[in-house]
């Protein structure tokens, strides 16, 4: 069974080539993204493997079906770039990897916060230039700070546990609270308003839906505590970029750490070092000394890549063998 694999990076190839050993699957890797214009390259493939920035709109899905594709395997948790209604209408079987490694993303969340707070990135650059001054590198203790976890799925819960290891007070908000977990861990659920006003640190771990789109915007960001640190390792469109910039300019936010950006498509995952950045909002965010940005790398650990490959290929094999997909992976 042939599988067309899009937006393939070196780390994708390495993980999937290892996982496909011993199977009868044939993987064909393409560096470019999947869209209506590139869907013809799926000719002869029964399944395609896509990622977060592939353009899986109705036109693309119709083109895939026209090429004989019967299955779409998302090698990620999010699927906001996928027209799921059209996929169902066209008879495409769709699966994803909902929980490849909550530890990878949770640990990167803390890495971003610690780096930004303690100015590790600035210190690193100074020392390389033999500047050993400590001026401007003052941070704060995490001990006894109040951390607001916005979204308590697997990643949010793991992140909360790590913060508790720093002796932080953790509060949380979720439309679907996990009260048993909260009772077991001592985390307290509260309203979004209370979380924003009480938290010294706010960490986002929500899926992108109609209800969560721009959940932090020109109305909600000013409600946050003065000097709050904001971390987003979830989805870029949870935050309205213009409102974020205004809050940074006014000094309301103490620091912002982002692994995602609302208009990251076509920028993140690519080498743009030889070009002029055309996104004015991203360029502006990068000018703030209290903003730290990584390019959607929170998932990028050996363990996570191996699990993504394992689950994705297991679902493809199950589809070939007319077996149900792995529990919790079907869309």
Q: Please name each of the domains of the chain with its CATH number.
A: 2-100+301-320 (3.40.50.720), 102-293 (3.40.50.720)
Q: Which of 33, 205, 240, 264 is the catalytic position?
A: 264
**How far is 278 from 63, CA to CA, in rounded Å?**
30
163 φ, ψ (degrees, to nearest 5): -60, -40
Q: Which of 96, 108, 296, 307 is the catalytic position?
A: 296
Alpha-carbon dihedral sign for residues 144, 149, 155, 157: positive
Structure tokens at 297: 């790398």
**How far is 187 from 147, CA to CA, in rounded Å?**
10
In sequence order, the 6+-apart residues with CB closer than 8 A to the CB of 284 are 245
296 φ, ψ (degrees, to nearest 5): 60, 50
Output the CA–CA distances (angstroms, integers) from residue 47 to 5, 30, 242, in the order listed: 9, 14, 39
The confidence score (pLDDT) of residue 237 equals 96
List the beta bridge partners of residue 189: 172
The confidence score (pLDDT) of residue 273 equals 93
**Coil, helix or strand at residue 23:** coil
Angle between the N-to-C axes of helices 302-320 and 10-19, in degrees from 0 to 180, rounded to the nearest 10? 50
Residues of the chain with pLDDT under 50: none
* Whether 235 is catalytic: yes
Alpha-carbon dihedral sign for residues 11, 260, 82, 173: positive
Is this structure's pTM higher than 0.85? yes
The confidence score (pLDDT) of residue 265 equals 84
* Contact criterion met (CB below 8 Å) for 241 and 230: no
**How far is 222 from 228, CA to CA, in rounded Å?**
11
In sequence order, the 6+-apart residues with CB closer than 8 A to the CB of 132 are 126
* Contact criterion met (CB below 8 Å) for 46 and 3: yes
The confidence score (pLDDT) of residue 164 equals 98
The confidence score (pLDDT) of residue 130 equals 98
* Long-range Cβ contact pairs of 213-219 (< 8 A, separation 24 or more): 213/237, 213/238, 214/238, 214/239, 214/240, 215/150, 215/239, 216/240, 216/243, 216/244, 217/243, 218/242, 218/243, 218/246
Residue reference for tokens 């976890």: 149
Q: Within 10 A of 322 (CB to CB), how many other CB atoms are there? A: 6
Q: Which of 235, 240, 262, 307 is the catalytic position?
A: 235
Structure tokens at 41: 């390259």
Instruction: Look at the chain and count its residues.
Output: 331
* Whether 179 is catalytic: no
Q: How does pLDDT run across 216-234, given as a tens digit for each residue? A: 999 999 999 999 999 999 9
Output the CA–CA distances (angstroms, integers) from residue 66 to 40, 53, 263, in the order listed: 9, 22, 30
* Pairing mode of beta strands 228-232, 47-50: unpaired
* Whether 296 is catalytic: yes
């Amino acid at each position: 069974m042939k599988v067309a694999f899009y937006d393939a990076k070196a780390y994708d190839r390495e993980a999937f080539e290892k996982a496909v050993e011993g199977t009868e699957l044939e993987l064909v890797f393409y560096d470019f993204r999947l869209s209506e214009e590139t869907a013809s390259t799926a000719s002869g493939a029964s399944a395609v493997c896509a990622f977060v920035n592939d353009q899986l709109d109705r036109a693309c899905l119709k083109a895939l079906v026209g090429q004989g594709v019967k299955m779409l395997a998302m090698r990620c948790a999010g699927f906001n770039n996928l027209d799921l209604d059209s996929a169902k209408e066209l008879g495409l079987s769709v699966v994803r990897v909902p929980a490849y490694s909550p530890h990878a993303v949770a640990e990167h969340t803390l890495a971003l916060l610690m780096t930004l707070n303690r100015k590790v990135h600035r210190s690193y650059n100074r020392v390389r230039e033999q500047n050993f001054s400590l001026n401007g590198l003052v941070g704060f203790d995490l001990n006894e700070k109040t951390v607001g976890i916005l979204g308590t799925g697997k990643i949010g819960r793991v992140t909360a546990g790590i913060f508790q290891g720093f002796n932080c007070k953790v509060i949380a908000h979720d439309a679907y609270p996990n009260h048993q977990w909260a009772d077991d861990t001592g985390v307290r659920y509260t309203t979004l308003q209370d979380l924003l006003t009480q938290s010294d640190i706010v960490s986002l771990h929500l899926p992108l839906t109609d209800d969560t789109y721009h959940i932090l915007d020109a109305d909600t960001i000013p409600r946050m505590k003065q000097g709050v640190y904001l971390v987003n390792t979830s989805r870029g469109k949870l935050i309205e970029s213009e409102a974020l910039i205004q809050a940074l300019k006014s000094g309301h936010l103490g620091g912002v750490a982002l692994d995602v950006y609302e208009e990251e498509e076509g920028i993140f995952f690519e080498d743009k070092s030889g070009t002029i950045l055309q996104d004015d909002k991203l360029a502006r965010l990068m000018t703030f000394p209290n903003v730290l940005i990584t390019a959607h790398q929170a998932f990028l650990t050996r363990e996570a890549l191996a699990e993504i490959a394992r689950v994705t290929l297991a679902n493809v094999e199950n589809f070939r063998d007319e077996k149900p997909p792995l529990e919790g992976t079907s869309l």
